[in-house]
Amino acid sequence: MTRRRRWRAVVFGLAAIYFLVPLVAAGEFSLRKPAGGYGFANYLAIVTDPVLLASLLVSLQIAVLTAVLVLVLVIPTAVWVRLRFPSVAALLETATILPIVVPPVVMAAGIAFVQANLNSEPFRSLFSSSATALTPFYVVLALPFAYRAVDNGLAAIPLRTLVEAARNLGAGPGSALLRVVLPAIRSAVLGSAFLTLALVLGEVVIARILLYTDTFPVVVIDVGRSAAGISVALTLASLVLTWVLLMAVSFIGGRRTRGTT
Amino acid sequence: MTDVIAPTPASDTARGTTVEFRGVRKDYGSTAALDGLDLTLRPGELLALLGPSGCGKTTALRLLAGFDKPTAGHILISGKDVTGIPAAKRDTGMVFQAYSLFPTMTAAENVAFGLRMRRVGAAERSRRADELLELVGLGSRGGSYPHEMSGGQQQRVALARALAVSPSVLLLDEPLSALDARVRVQLRDEIRRVQLAEGITTLFVTHDQSEALAVADRVAVLNAGRLEQVDVPQEVYARPATAFVAEFVGVMNDVPVENGRIVPGGTHRVQTRPEGLVVGMPDGLPASVLTSTFLGPVTRLVLTSDVGELTVDLVSRPGLPGIGAATTVALDPT
């Protein structure tokens, strides 16, 4: 037992060093001032640099749109499959993994081909702005994570009984979903929303290849060419932000759902 | 209110509605879960649908609730055919086996849910929720969440929730099976009390024969999708219509008898419950004790004899024959 515990401590320690050292180094680097000494100037660039600020707003807009679309798509589907077509579940699970299996470069090439062939209205104007052009593809990218998170949430509640109880009390399918199922899987829903946010704040390959260069991660990398400190600072900030959000979700979720199943 | 709580079934009161299954059949693939069920629940009665797992009792309940559609036949509530009406508009109140309370709502919010779906105002909702929680003995727990309550309390809330909308039929789907023995008996009696007070027609699905005999006005025994017997508990117990009912509702001894005595190869056969046999009578059939189980007020002996194994329940007292002892067995002369 103690032997096992010691091994666990060693493995945990090595992993912690592997993950923490680069982060600490990045943190130290981001706080350096060009003239020597430390300060928060690099972090303040997000409010002082209009290009950076604009890119953050674009990316947040994409993130919110993507999260909403993904959840609207995934939640009813997952509930429907669990209640009516449990036999399809395995097939659907495989289908949702596809976006992970297909490399982003291949996907970008595919998208470029689609865009080239859809050059009439309304597609032309949709493809002209980053938010409307990238969102549908980010929805596809976020699908595997969101489906998995939501499906796990549904597995943890007595879904069929809850839905039948709601129907028995006079609730239509919409009410049962919104008033009973959704609150019961709230932490899973928030979790997939924040995973989507993390994904959108980190996706560069597709945006770059398709020349949508005004999203936050792309701009942060471009800025890094001339001002490495700002780039590192903002990368770190977005990492910490999503990490804190995910921790908050698991904390709230852990406290809320205890004892309900 | 008090005049309704009477020892006699509430079948003659004006309240409560009639429920009819007419030739109801439900097939799953090529197997018939329910093979032409004809059953009528009288107004205000509690009918226990009793049978082993897989006998079709839950299927019957789900068809009545509207969760599933029958393959053939009709279901009538108050003489009105509800076969095509969706679950949400059936006007039934259901208590599930367990874990049916909405986890993110308090007890009071759970109870008020059905009223909210019917667009009842907030003040009236909370008044009615309080009233029903009071009825099930949880007047002070309205603000508790399901996970803060015991299994028995959760089922009480579920009962209050089912009754809050004043449904025409109450459906109980093995509501006690997830509880421990003491709470089970307590809640069983509680359900009966509330059911009589409300005078509501109730279908109680259970696989536990003692539960069915204890609370029901009538018991319907179901086996392999077919009804075996429908009668008052006393009749089902004393005069089972089929061998299956005899076996399922307690233990039944089947002995050959000649002139009132158990004789191997006797001309006619008598079915008797374990309490209908006695041991130690001088003119009884020789037997030896195979097992002896102390059950509290009674001790159950399994005997081997020339007519096969016999089960005998005796009032527990010192001096009963022990395992391996030789004794005699006879029909109780009283």
- SS3 of chain B: the string is CHHHCCCCCHHHCCCCCCEEEEEEEEEECCEEEEEEEEEEECCCCEEEEECCCCCCHHHHHHHHHCCCCCCEEEEEECCEECCCCCHHHCCEEEECCCCCCCCCCCHHHHHHHHHHHCCCCHHHHHHHHHHHHHHCCCCCCCCCCHHHCCHHHHHHHHHHHHHHCCCCEEEEECCCCCCCHHHHHHHHHHHHHHHHHHCCEEEEEECCHHHHHHHCCEEEEEECCEEEEEECHHHHHHCCCCHHHHHHCCCCEEEEEECCEECCCCCEEEEECHHHEEECCCCCEEEEEEEEEECCCEEEEEEEECCEEEEEEEECCCCCCCCCCEEEEEECCC
Distance from CA of B232 to the nearest CA of A (A): 29
Chain A residues touching residue B114 (CB < 8 angstroms): 169-170
CA nearest to A255 within chain B: B147
Q: Virtual CA dihedral for A241, A244, A248, A249, nearest 10 degrees?
A: 60
Q: Assign residue B166 a region: left if phi > 0, alpha if psi is -120 to 50, beta otherwise?
A: left
CA nearest to B65 within chain A: A168
User: Is A171 near chain B, with CB under 8 Å?
Assistant: yes
Per-residue pLDDT tens digits of chain B, which is 334 residues long: 334 333 444 444 446 799 999 999 999 988 889 999 999 999 999 999 999 988 999 999 999 999 999 999 999 999 999 999 999 999 999 999 988 999 999 999 999 999 999 999 999 999 999 999 999 999 999 999 999 999 999 999 999 999 999 999 999 999 999 898 889 999 999 999 999 999 999 999 999 999 999 999 999 999 999 999 999 999 999 899 998 999 898 888 989 998 888 999 888 888 899 999 999 888 899 999 999 999 999 999 999 999 999 999 999 999 899 999 999 999 988 7
pLDDT, tens digit (0-9, with 9 covering 90-100), for B51-101: 998 899 999 999 999 999 999 999 999 999 999 999 999 999 999 998 899
Per-residue pLDDT tens digits of chain A, which is 261 residues long: 578 889 999 999 999 999 999 999 998 998 888 788 888 888 888 888 888 889 989 999 999 999 999 999 999 999 999 998 888 888 888 888 888 888 888 888 888 888 888 877 777 777 878 888 889 889 999 988 899 899 999 999 999 999 999 999 999 999 999 999 999 999 899 888 888 888 898 888 888 888 888 888 998 888 888 888 888 888 888 888 888 887 877 777 655 544 443
pLDDT, tens digit (0-9, with 9 covering 90-100), for B121-130: 999 999 999 9
- Cβ separation of A165 and B102 shorter than 8 Å? yes
The pLDDT assigned to A1 comes to 57
The pLDDT assigned to B113 comes to 96
Q: How many CB atoms lie within 10 A of CB A225?
A: 8
- Cβ separation of A170 and B89 shorter than 8 Å? yes
User: Is B161 near chain A, with CB under 8 Å?
Assistant: yes
DSSP A156: T
Amino acid symbol at B204: F
User: Is A87 near chain B, with CB under 8 Å?
Assistant: no
| Residue in A167, A258, A260 nearest the CB of B88 | A167
The pLDDT assigned to B148 comes to 95
pLDDT, tens digit (0-9, with 9 covering 90-100), for B229-265: 999 999 999 899 998 999 898 888 989 998 888 999 8
| Residue in B66, B104, B146 nearest the CB of A183 | B104
The pLDDT assigned to A61 comes to 92
- Cβ separation of B117 and A170 shorter than 8 Å? yes
Distance from CA of B99 to the nearest CA of A (A): 7
The pLDDT assigned to A254 comes to 57
- Cβ separation of A165 and B94 shorter than 8 Å? yes
The pLDDT assigned to B15 comes to 66
The pLDDT assigned to A255 comes to 54
State the maximum Cα–Cα separation within chain B, in Å, rounded to a whole number.
Answer: 75
Distance from CA of A155 to the nearest CA of B (A): 14
Distance from CA of B106 to the nearest CA of A (A): 12
